[in-house]
Chain A
Amino acid sequence: MKTKTNTLSEEKGKAVIVIGDGAAIPLKRDAGLFTAWRIAFVGACLILAGLIIFKPDPYLQIFKFLPDGIFVTFQVTIGSIALAIVIGLVAGLGRMSKIRIINLIASTYIEIIRGIPLLVQLFYLYYALGRFLLVPDILAAIIAMSVCYGAYMAEVIRAGIESIDWGQTEAAQSLGFNRTQTMFYVILPQAWRTILPPVGNEFIALLKDTSLVSILAVSDLLRRGREFASESFLYFETYTMIAIIYLIITLILSKLVAQMEERLGRYEQR
């Protein structure tokens, strides 16, 4: 089975960006994976519904307890991805800058972040932000997540930009566009297509990694589950629900990313 990026590289000679970890993004033409997606999604929904309907005690109670956490998980995910893209763009462009000092700062940031485990960074930034800047919990978690993910995003964005033929830059510059205009009007709109699949994967990976913030004082989905479990002692039942809900959210998200990708790829198709 081929992945999208591989197919791209074979067909068009484009750069390949392969970032593991995230859920596989299903493709229409990739029939096997598509079926796997369906089985997982329908199965998870059926199990969830079945548990709630046929064993409302305790599953319905657990389910009712969780929406607040789901909301917080979404908040952290969406906030982090947005901020991570901005940080990634700045750092990615910084790494390509000809100005030495900017290049050095961006490269150092990426190097440092990639060398420290996410959980350690989360603890560190979270407590540093809370202590010195009195940043509220959720915001501190978002900043910590996006500082970390921004470094990975920067590499993805840089690779995407570098995959665009230099002739595009020359054509834009010969019309009179300056470097910034060239980047935003010509290069990024094209690079976005190469960037999107790995960013989509990062997005999904980030959603799952937000479960780490439950260790901080942020009431995300996992933390809400832990709270419920520690009061009711229903550990197994609670974590079953948590796992199914994460799975459903992740599957929906991967579907959305696949659809967005398809739409962006349209003008390339005959």
Chain B
Amino acid sequence: MSKDKKPIIHISNVSKHFGDFKALEDVSLEVETGEKVVVIGPSGSGKSTLLRTINKLETISKGSIVVNGFDLNAPSVDINKVRQDVGMVFQSFNLFRHKTALENLTLAPIKLRNTSKEDAARQGLALLAKVGIEGKADQYPVQLSGGQQQRVAIARALAMNPKIMLFDEPTSALDPEMIGEVLDVMVKLAKEGMTMVVVTHEMGFAREVADWIVFMDEGRILEIGTPTHFFENPEHPRLKKFLAQIL
């Protein structure tokens, strides 16, 4: 968001309509390499929609999005190639149910990057160790707790060596005692310099990790600022109200 570097995510004047309903309205946001952006806002404000436009799981009605140098709306763009460099973590984990934890990690590198099975398994095991569940490599998703599943899901995204990681409320579906283990992994990732866009209600995480916090309401970005700014002198009345409700 400073002017000296080129943003890796460049969202300009984006609108998204579902029929008559405006889920996003003239949204602009720039994220530079290595930055961590946390998106907050009330339910239905368009946070997920915005996040999902970044890897084109959601198409846009107006505006433009450039990710990693690729204009997502250009007819020539190979969206599958773009997505290989953009990891995504979902609220509901979405692990491949027919694959073990390790197979969840190795499937994409083997099929999409032509990584050999041995290399993929080695890298996969290292990633499972990194998220703290190397012992569960041969378990199927149903055999894992929610926190473990979400950590596998993060590792699965990391297995493609993405340049950007998107998180859509990664801890919202978890029992309280498992939230910490997932946030720890995300903090670790942030410290390693990963570019991250995170939709979350975890204000502690936002305060600790975010370079910028984005507040959305009714499809618009109402305020962007540093954590200090956000928590010490929020400006927009609706942001004040929102923070009063959740803190």
**Across the interface, do A168 and B94 meet the contact criterion of CB distance under 8 Å?**
yes
A235 on the B face (CB < 8 A): no
A177 vs B108: C-alpha distance when bound (angstroms): 8
**Across the interface, do A177 and B112 meet the contact criterion of CB distance under 8 Å?**
yes
Determine how close the nearest CB of chain A comes to the CB of B154; give it in whole angstroms.
Answer: 12
A165 vs B93: C-alpha distance when bound (angstroms): 12
**Across the interface, do A168 and B112 meet the contact criterion of CB distance under 8 Å?**
no
**Across the interface, do B140 and A174 meet the contact criterion of CB distance under 8 Å?**
no
Across the A-B interface, how many residue pairs have beta carbons closer than 8 Å?
Answer: 67
Interface set, chain B 148-192, CB cutoff 8 A to A: 153, 156-157, 160
Asked, given contacts A170-B57, A181-B111, A270-B142, whether A176 binds B94 with beta carbons under 8 Å apart, the answer is no
A189 on the B face (CB < 8 A): yes
- Residues of chain B at interface, number, CB under 8 A: 27
- Residues of chain A at interface, number, CB under 8 A: 20
Determine how close the nearest CB of chain A comes to the CB of B56; give it in whole angstroms.
Answer: 9
**Across the interface, do A171 and B94 meet the contact criterion of CB distance under 8 Å?**
yes
Q: What residue in chain B is nearest A182 (Cβ atoms)? A: B80
Interface set, chain B 72-130, CB cutoff 8 A to A: 80-81, 83-84, 86-88, 90, 92, 94-98, 107-108, 111-112
Q: Could you say which residues of chain B place their CB within 8 Å of the CB of A270? A: 142-143
Q: Could you say which residues of chain B place their CB within 8 Å of the CB of A268? A: 97, 140, 142
Determine how close the nearest CB of chain A comes to the CB of B81; give it in whole angstroms.
Answer: 7
Determine how close the nearest CB of chain A comes to the CB of B150; give it in whole angstroms.
Answer: 12
**Across the interface, do B112 and A171 meet the contact criterion of CB distance under 8 Å?**
no
Q: Could you say which residues of chain B place their CB within 8 Å of the CB of A174? A: 55, 57, 83, 86-88, 157
Q: Could you say which residues of chain A place their CB within 8 Å of the CB of B142? A: 267-268, 270
A134 on the B face (CB < 8 A): no
**Interface majority SS on A: helix, strand, loop or mixed?**
helix
A181 vs B90: C-alpha distance when bound (angstroms): 20
Determine how close the nearest CB of chain A comes to the CB of B15; give it in whole angstroms.
Answer: 22
Q: Could you say which residues of chain A place their CB within 8 Å of the CB of B92? A: 167
Q: Could you say which residues of chain A place their CB within 8 Å of the CB of B55? A: 174
A71 on the B face (CB < 8 A): no
Determine how close the nearest CB of chain B comes to the CB of A147; give it in whole angstroms.
Answer: 31
A190 vs B96: C-alpha distance when bound (angstroms): 9
A167 vs B160: C-alpha distance when bound (angstroms): 19
Q: Could you say which residues of chain B place their CB within 8 Å of the CB of A173? A: 57, 80, 83
**Across the interface, do B98 and A171 meet the contact criterion of CB distance under 8 Å?**
no
Indicate which residue in A170, A181, A267 contacts B94 across the interface (CB closer than 8 Å): A170
Q: Could you say which residues of chain A place their CB within 8 Å of the CB of B107? A: 175, 185
Residue ranges of B at the interface with A (Cβ–Cβ < 8 Å) = 55, 57, 80-81, 83-84, 86-88, 90, 92, 94-98, 107-108, 111-112, 140, 142-143, 153, 156-157, 160
Residue ranges of A at the interface with B (Cβ–Cβ < 8 Å) = 165, 167-168, 170-178, 181, 185-186, 189-190, 267-268, 270
Known: A177-B112, A181-B112. 17 other contacts (CB 8 A): A167-B90, A167-B92, A168-B94, A168-B96, A170-B57, A171-B90, A172-B96, A173-B83, A174-B57, A174-B83, A174-B86, A175-B84, A176-B83, A178-B80, A267-B97, A267-B142, A268-B140
